[in-house]
């Protein structure tokens, strides 16, 4: 398990730290330092609120190694209120209750577990807004 | 025109080849292609290997030197090309460059995959390395789940029912049933697609192409040499590639395979051909949603209307990825071999009548890499 590869993403995983384009004001997540809308340099940090809606979704029945512990799980594309779309698991909801357009909010949960001796990775998941 | 041509082809069947190693699969395909071209290993100037998984799945990288040595070409220039499931066509394209430049007279392209060296959760993790590690893999996304996210959104926005995608799998299986080298030779009965065991809904077992082991090989040289060396050289009329984001969420227009569109347009322009000139489209049907959206991107269907395909344009003539089997990084070379067999009239029970020009399209991921080739007889 790559420790530094995960550690350096702490700001994104725990705070949804993205960027704002100084040229056209587009909000960017995941951060990429170049605005995908106008191609201007965009390194100004901008924390997203973590509120949005389900854009698409599926349920993973055959998980990759490290993700067996909570399979089957729902993975969704979330369209955040500020504009960006991201990929995340849904939590606190049954697969059959998920629908496109459902309002959701970010929470911090365990993403990955490599067994008793291995590393545990935490990060954002999304749950329905009651 | 690329001024290059194929003068030899070879392939193995696609299967779960528990008793056959990666290097053997490559060699069987190479041996068949050398036989077909009536060439010896000494006449090969460079080897281009297309492979996706071996570094992770078989703990073996450095396939260029390994396969050159194992196949009786110790000392020959060799390199491996990786672009996920598009690795095969990417290797072919490197061979075309090398031959076109005049640096290499005769190039050998071998696509080889040994999917069954890992299984279960480890296989899913290996396959998922083609997704964005920080923002997709980290969240437990799999390749099938990524396709499912795309398909679900497509069905939602265009109001297309699941059953509308069945025709792609039914066509692939109908053709695969006639191909002795196919992994699955069963026909898919009407109504079965919609009730298949789920993988990642709406993607099911009868929707996702099954990964398999296999090797395929083509030998490429300049057209002028090909005319002297082969009775029926296959002209490579066009070779074009384009890229897109690995992650679906990074695409501004998610329901459009931009790389597939760009590479198709470039291929048509290069070949100087129109859609009506294409007699067979060997598209990348790793998932039915990719079949539908590839037809749209290549301009064979209107946007959102890929599932209205009526069979007029033949697809997946040897079973496609769905029934012939999905040999991942070898797929693009299988497509080239199949195009050549159709053009030579050597497709046996899979033969399409009056095939003069074939377009093949090999996708990596959800068309994060798209590589289009056009082949014809002289
Ligand atoms: Zn901007």
Using DSSP's 3-state secondary structure scheme, residue B134 falls into coil
User: What distance separates the 2 farthest-apart alpha carbons in chain B?
Assistant: 57
Give B83→chain A minimum CA distance, Å. Answer: 20
CA of A16 to the centre of ligand 1 (A): 19
pLDDT digits (tens, 9 = 90+) for A71-81: 999 999 999 99
Of A55, A100, A111, the CB nearest to B139: A111
What would the mean pLDDT of A105-111 be, rounded to a whole number? 97
How many angstroms away from the CA of B249 is the closest CA of chain A?
Answer: 5
| Closest B-chain CA to A69 | B140
Q: Indicate yes or no: CB of A65 within 8 angstroms of CB of B141.
A: no
Give pLDDT, residue A1: 64
Q: Do A56 and B152 touch (CB under 8 A)?
A: yes
Close Cβ partners of A115 (under 8 Å, ≥ 6 residues apart): none
pLDDT exceeds 90 at position A6: no
Q: Are B122 and A66 a contacting pair at CB < 8 A? A: no
Give chain A positions within 8 Å (CB) of B122: 65
The percent helix, strand, coil of chain A (3-state, each to 5) is 15, 45, 45
Residues in Cβ contact with B328 at an 8 Å cutoff, skipping those fewer than 6 apart: B52, B53, B84, B85, B87, B113, B115, B127, B211
Q: What is the pLDDT of residue B2?
A: 80
Q: Which residues of B touch A3 (CB under 8 A)?
A: none
Phi/psi at B125 (5° precision): -65, -40
Would you give the end-to-end CA distance of chain A in angstroms?
A: 36
Distance CA A69, CA A60 (A): 12
**Subunit contact B140:A112, Cβ cutoff 8 A:** yes
Helices B288-297 and B258-271 cross at an angle (nearest 10°) of: 50
Q: Name the packing angle between helices B143-158 and B288-297 (round to 10°).
A: 60
Question: What mean pLDDT value characterizes chain A?
Answer: 95
* Interface contact B136-A87, CB threshold 8 A: yes
Of A30, A56, A67, the CB nearest to B149: A56
Give me the pLDDT at residue B228, please. Answer: 97
Q: How far is the CA of B367 from the centre of ligand 1 (A)?
A: 25
Three-state DSSP class for residue B122: helix
Domains plus CATH for chain B? 4-119+212-235 (3.40.47.10), 140-209+237-377 (3.40.47.10)
For residues A61 and A72, give the distance between their C-alpha atoms in angstroms, rounded to a whole number. 5
Distance between Cα A10 and ligand 1 center (Å):
25
Chain A residues within 8 Å of chain B (Cβ atoms): 5-6, 9, 12-13, 30, 36-37, 55-68, 73, 75-77, 84-89, 100, 111-112, 121, 123
Nearest-angstrom CA–CA distance, B338 and B320: 10
Per residue of chain B (378 residues), what is the pLDDT tens digit? Answer: 789 999 999 999 999 999 999 999 999 999 999 999 999 999 999 999 999 999 999 999 999 999 999 999 999 999 999 999 999 999 999 999 999 999 999 999 999 999 999 999 999 999 999 999 999 999 999 999 999 999 999 999 999 999 999 999 999 999 999 999 999 999 999 999 999 999 999 999 999 999 999 999 999 999 999 999 999 999 999 999 999 999 999 999 999 999 999 999 999 999 999 999 999 999 999 999 999 999 999 999 999 999 999 999 999 999 999 999 999 999 999 999 999 999 999 999 999 999 999 999 999 999 999 999 999 998
Integer Cα distance of B54 and B329 in angstroms: 10
- Expressed in angstroms and rounded, the spacing between residue A42 Cα and the centre of ligand 1 is 7
Contact status, residue A6 vs residue A121, Cβ threshold 8 Å: yes
Is B286:B325 a contact under the CB 8 Å cutoff?
Answer: no
Question: CA neighbours within 13 Å on the CB side: how many for B344?
Answer: 20
CA dist list (Å): B174 to B182, B184, B274, B319: 11, 10, 28, 7
Residues of A in contact with B121 (CB under 8 A): 62-68
Cα–ligand 1 centroid distance for B130 (angstroms)? 28
| Integer angstrom CA distances of residue B312 from B280, B319, B341, B352 | 10, 16, 20, 12
Please name the member of B128, B148, B248 whose beta carbon is closest to the beta carbon of A64.
B128
Q: Among A4, A14, A60, A120, which would you mutate to test the B interface (most chain B Cβ atoms within 10 Å of its Cβ)? A: A60
pLDDT category, A44, cuts 50, 70, 90? very high
**CB of B5 within 8 A of CB of B220?**
yes
Enter the DSSP assignment of B351: P
> Is the ipTM of this structure higher than 0.90?
yes
Cis peptide before B241 (omega within 30 of 0): no
């Amino acid at each position: 398990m790559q420790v530094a590869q995960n550690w350096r993403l702490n700001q994104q995983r725990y705070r949804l730290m993205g960027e704002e384009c100084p040229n056209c004001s587009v909000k960017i997540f995941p951060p990429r330092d170049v605005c995908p809308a106008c191609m201007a340099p965009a390194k100004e940090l901008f924390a997203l609120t973590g509120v949005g809606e389900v854009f698409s979704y599926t349920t993973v029945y055959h998980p990759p190694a490290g993700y067996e512990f909570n399979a089957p799980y729902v993975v969704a594309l979330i369209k955040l209120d500020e504009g960006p779309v991201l990929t995340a698991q849904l939590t606190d909801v049954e697969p059959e209750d998920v629908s496109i357009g459902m309002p959701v909010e970010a929470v911090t949960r365990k993403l990955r577990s490599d067994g008793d001796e291995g590393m545990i990775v935490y990060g954002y998941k999304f749950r329905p807004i009651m | 025109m690329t001024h290059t041509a194929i003068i030899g082809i070879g392939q193995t069947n696609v299967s779960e080849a528990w008793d056959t190693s990666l290097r053997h699969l490559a060699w069987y395909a190479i041996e068949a292609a050398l036989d077909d071209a009536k060439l010896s290993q000494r006449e090969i100037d460079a080897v281009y290997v297309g492979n996706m998984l071996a570094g992770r799945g078989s703990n073996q990288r450095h396939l260029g030197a390994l396969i050159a040595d194992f196949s009786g070409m110790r000392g020959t220039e060799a390199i491996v090309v990786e672009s996920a499931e598009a690795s095969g066509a990417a290797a072919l394209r490197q061979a075309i460059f090398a031959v076109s430049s005049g640096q290499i007279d005769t190039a050998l392209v071998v696509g080889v995959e040994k999917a069954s060296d890992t299984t279960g959760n480890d296989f899913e993790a290996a396959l998922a390395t083609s997704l964005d590690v920080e923002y997709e893999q980290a969240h437990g996304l799999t390749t099938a789940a990524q396709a499912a996210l795309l398909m679900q959104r497509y069905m939602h926005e265009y109001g297309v029912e699941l059953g509308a995608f069945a025709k792609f799998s039914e066509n692939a299986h109908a053709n695969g049933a006639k191909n002795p080298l196919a992994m699955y030779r069963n026909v898919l009965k009407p109504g079965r697609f919609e009730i298949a065991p789920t993988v990642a809904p709406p993607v099911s077992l009868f929707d996702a192409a099954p990964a398999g082991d296999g090797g395929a090989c083509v030998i490429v040289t300049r057209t002028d040499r090909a005319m002297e060396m082969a009775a029926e050289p296959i002209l490579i009329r066009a070779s074009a590639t384009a890229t897109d984001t690995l992650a679906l969420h990074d695409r501004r227009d998610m329901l459009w395979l931009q790389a597939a569109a760009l590479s198709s347009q470039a291929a048509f322009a290069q070949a100087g051909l129109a859609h009506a000139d294409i007699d067979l489209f060997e598209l990348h049907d790793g998932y039915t949603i990719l079949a539908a959206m590839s037809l749209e991107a290549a301009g064979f269907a209107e946007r959102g209307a890929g599932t209205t395909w009526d069979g007029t344009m033949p697809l997946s003539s040897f079973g496609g990825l769905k029934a012939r089997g999905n040999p991942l990084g070898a797929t693009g070379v299988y497509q080239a071999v199949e195009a050549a067999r159709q053009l030579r009239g050597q497709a046996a029970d899979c033969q399409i009548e009056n095939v003069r020009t074939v377009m093949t399209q090999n996708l990596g991921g959800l068309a994060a890499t798209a590589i289009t080739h056009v082949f014809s007889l002289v």
